[in-house]
Amino acid sequence: MKPYDRDNALKNAQDAVRAAADASRQLLADSFSDLWHAFEMIRDTFQNGGHLHVCGNGGSAADAQHFVTELVVRLDSQSKRRPLPATSLSTDTSVLTAAANDLGFEHVFSRQIEARAKSGDLLLLISTSGNSPNLLAAADAARLNLVRTIGLLGRGGGSLKPLVDCAVVVPSDNTQRIQEVQTLVLHLWCEWLDPEFTTS
């Protein structure tokens, strides 16, 4: 691949913006019912006193932390929404490294689900491929602990899609575009949650 000059950098940027917009539009056209159902699961979990657990790898781990931050603190600086109980499973380095070292990296999330999650809780798994072994193991652990699951996925949903109760699948095979649309989805969920939990 040759280095970018100004003209082909502009074309690359235009193509990227167009692809992200196309994937967003297609998601709304084809899968809005899944997007809304996932929101209802999140809302109902909080309304019923449950806890949201969120996990992912790499950039998806960052997205998990981002989403949890918006829920615990707030998305809009003017919002008066109460803090919502959510935890990212990728933030405790001691637990992550101990589980990876002693049990294997595929158990870094499932072990936390076994320890912390209870019936009435919800697990959100974020992945661009849907094929990460540690996310598959976490989905299995959630089912055994009577914890419902949502997958925010790409590339057709991968092996994770049939294991979750609700799958929101971004219609793209490009990692960057999938992550960009997933961020939009997370922000939409936050925006829809705000009026549900805002005190007057």
Q: Which domains does the chain have, with CATH numbers?
A: 6-196 (3.40.50.10490)
Residue 78 is predicted with a pLDDT of 84
Cα separation, 62 vs 23, in Å, equals: 21
Q: How confident is the model at residue 4 (pLDDT cuts 50, 70, 90)?
A: confident
Cα separation, 182 vs 193, in Å, equals: 17
What single string gives the DSSP state of each residue in the chain? -PPP-HHHHHHHHHHHHHHHHHHHHHHHHHHHHHHHHHHHHHHHHHHTT--EEEE-STHHHHHHHHHHHHHHS-SSTT--BPP--EEETT--HHHHHHHHHHT-GGGTTHHHHHHH--TT-EEEEE-SSS--HHHHHHHHHHHHTT-EEEEEE-GGGGGGGGGSSEEEE-S-S-HHHHHHHHHHHHHHHHHHHGGGSB--
Query: Quick one: which of 60, 69, 119 has its CA closest to 90?
Result: 60
Q: How confident is the model at residue 200 (pLDDT cuts 50, 70, 90)?
A: low
User: Per residue in 53-90, pLDDT tens?
Assistant: 999 999 999 999 999 999 999 988 888 899 999 999 99
Q: What percent of the chain lies above the pLDDT cut of 90?
A: 92
Would you state the structure tokens that stand for residue 112, as one six-digit string?
């936390």
Residue 39 is predicted with a pLDDT of 98
Mean pLDDT of 29-55: 98
User: Per residue in 151-180, pLDDT tens?
Assistant: 999 999 999 999 999 999 999 999 999 999
User: Per residue in 118-150, pLDDT tens?
Assistant: 999 999 999 999 999 999 999 999 999 999 999
Q: Which residues, 6 or more positions from 91, have their beta carbon under 8 angstroms from its beta carbon?
A: 65
